Amino acid sequence: MEGREPPQDLPDHLFVSSSDHPAPSEPSSSQLPRDLDWVSSFLQLPPYHGGSNDATGAGSSSLVGGGAPVNADEEERNVGGKERRKAGGGHRTRKATRPRFAFRTRSSEDILDDGYRWRKYGQKAVKNSIYPRSYYRCAHHTCNVKKQVQRLSEDTSTVVTTYEGVHNHPCEQLMEALAPLLRQIQFLSKF
DNA sequence: CGTATTTGACCTGCGC
DNA sequence: GCGCAGGTCAAATACG
């Protein structure tokens, strides 16, 4: 793939999986803090124009990442033209897709609280893994970010999360947390 | 009753 | 060309 570079300034508790070897055998040594430290890390991350960050390493998959704008997907979806069948789907492996990046965390929980609201829209059993892969979409109306969550079968304490796209809205939880602070600043700025 | 999750069906791309 | 694996949809169900 065309020179994708994993971000290197990640905090210790995060690490982006290499795209072609998404699931290296050595486990991450640190625990994900309950706090949203890594959310802010995301905000600082350059978009990872990653290629196939297939977290499971299921060989045949060739999900390609790209630097295409997020709404490219939406367009294609709507322009689809002829009405989709009852149970549609299947727009996999589009050539120009959004930035993708994956990382692994050590956690007993599959759902990592990253401050955004996610809606689950699917779950699939994947090959070479005893754990299913869960598919989530950002619950924000205008946001088209997706993520996949899967637990490694060879290291059950490790959860692989693959993000696709970039949020086009602020993190609610972060804003909530900041709200009192902002109010205080506003108040103080009057003087 | 509204919202989120579950789940089976369907679609697409890729490898053989 | 066929089958497989992965990704998505939407009806059904669960939950508050």
Residue-number span of the structural domain to which A123 is assigned = 98-191
> What mean pLDDT do residues A17-45 have?
40
| Å: A127 CA to B14 C1' | 15
Supply the pLDDT for residue A94. Answer: 43
Domain with A180 in it: what CATH number? 2.20.25.80
> Does residue A56 fall inside a structural domain?
no
Question: Is pLDDT at A21 greater than 60 in this prediction?
Answer: no
- Decide if A99 contacts A47 (C-beta within 8 A): yes
> What mean pLDDT do residues A183-191 have?
80
> Does residue A11 fall inside a structural domain?
no
Total structural domains in chain A? 1
> Does residue A21 fall inside a structural domain?
no
> Does residue A65 fall inside a structural domain?
no
Model pTM score: 0.64
Supply the pLDDT for residue A98. Answer: 64
Q: Is the CB of A120 under 7 A from strand B?
A: yes
Q: Is the CB of A46 under 7 A from strand B?
A: no
Q: Give residue-wise pLDDT tens across range A143-171.
A: 888 999 988 877 888 888 888 888 878 77
Q: Is the CB of A82 under 7 A from strand B?
A: no
| Å: A179 CA to B11 C1' | 44
Distance of CA A28 to the CA centre of its chain: 18
> Does residue A44 fall inside a structural domain?
no
Question: Is pLDDT at A140 greater than 80 in this prediction?
Answer: yes
| Residue A42, amino acid | F
